[in-house]
């Protein structure tokens, strides 16, 4: 047994946090998987992602140079994400009539599936390391797989990963107060899986053998992606909260 495996085994044991155990304490989050038509929807979805990326670059540039502009751009981006998510929620609630992309294209994904996530212990400790300046290996990568086993705090990776993409080029990550939002669009060239894609997670590297996983989530039913016909978009939200009375 490796040192890493030893500590992961130890972390599976209950830890006291006030009157609770570690299993009762979690960072609230949710993952939404969307399946799009490649021919019809790729342009409006990618336009949305590219706009988020452009706003991200402008936000970074203006942070210290133009504080007022920076705050205004942050607000614009947050509202844009909220509007996009509200469209997904409308479709989720079968309100398809009158739901459009910004330029008038119909907002009609094939499939939407959502479920609560489980942040990994590796992810929680990494957040502290970022604040302490001990690490700059941020969770820029999102993976998708076909595993169905329920996540645990000590999962080292996805159960059966099939693809991983860099959200800096194929998606976006946004900080909105205590809410962290990320999204990734996977290429249509991802091979078809008979069982569909049922698990997602974020990682600090594109190396499956050495990366740490921020969170893992499984969804049911799986996204029925078909190579060169559809493409998957996964969006993730985490609400970071303080935990008091730690023993």
pLDDT tens digits for range 105-127: 888 999 999 998 888 888 888 88
Q: How far is CA 64 from CA 16, 59, 94, 110, 136, in A?
A: 41, 10, 44, 42, 20
**In angstroms, rounded to a whole number, what is the distance separating the alpha carbons of residues 66 and 168?**
23
* Contact call for residues 166 and 179 (beta carbons, < 8 A): no
CA 61 vs CA 78, 81, 109: distances in Å: 17, 20, 34
pLDDT in tens, 144-170: 999 999 998 889 999 999 999 999 999
pLDDT reported for residue 128: 85
- What integer pLDDT is reported at residue 118 of this predicted model? 84
Instruction: Please list the residues that pair with 232 across neighbouring strands.
Output: 35
CA distance 34 to 45: 11
Statement: residue 100 has pLDDT above 60: yes
pLDDT of 1 > 70? The answer is no
Lowest mean pLDDT among 22-31, 193-202, 207-216: 22-31
- pLDDT of 10 > 90? The answer is no
Output the pTM of the full model: 0.83
- What pLDDT score was predicted for residue 202? 95
């Amino acid at each position: 047994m490796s040192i890493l495996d030893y500590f992961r085994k130890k972390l599976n044991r209950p830890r006291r946090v006030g009157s609770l155990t570690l299993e009762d304490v979690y960072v609230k989050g949710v993952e939404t998987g969307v399946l799009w038509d490649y021919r019809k929807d790729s342009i409006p979805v990618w336009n949305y992602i590219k706009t988020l990326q452009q706003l991200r670059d402008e936000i970074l540039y203006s942070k210290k140079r133009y504080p007022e502009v920076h705050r205004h751009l942050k607000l614009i981006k947050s509202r844009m994400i909220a509007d996009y998510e509200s469209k997904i929620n409308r479709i989720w609630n079968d309100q398809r009539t009158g739901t459009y992309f910004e330029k008038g294209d119909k907002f009609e994904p094939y499939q939407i599936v959502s479920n609560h996530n489980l942040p990994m212990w590796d992810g929680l400790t990494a957040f502290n390391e970022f604040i302490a300046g001990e690490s700059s290996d941020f969770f820029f990568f999102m993976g998708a797989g076909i595993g169905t086993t329920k996540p645990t705090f000590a999962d080292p990776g996805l159960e059966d990963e099939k693809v991983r993409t860099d959200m800096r080029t194929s998606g976006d990550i946004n900080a909105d107060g205590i809410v962290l939002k990320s999204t990734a669009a996977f290429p249509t060239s991802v091979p078809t899986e008979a069982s569909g894609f049922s698990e997602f997670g974020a990682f600090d590297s594109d190396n499956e053998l050495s990366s740490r996983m921020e969170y893992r989530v499984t969804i049911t039913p799986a996204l029925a992606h078909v190579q060169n016909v559809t493409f998957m978009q996964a969006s993730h939200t985490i609400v970071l909260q303080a935990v008091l009375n730690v023993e």
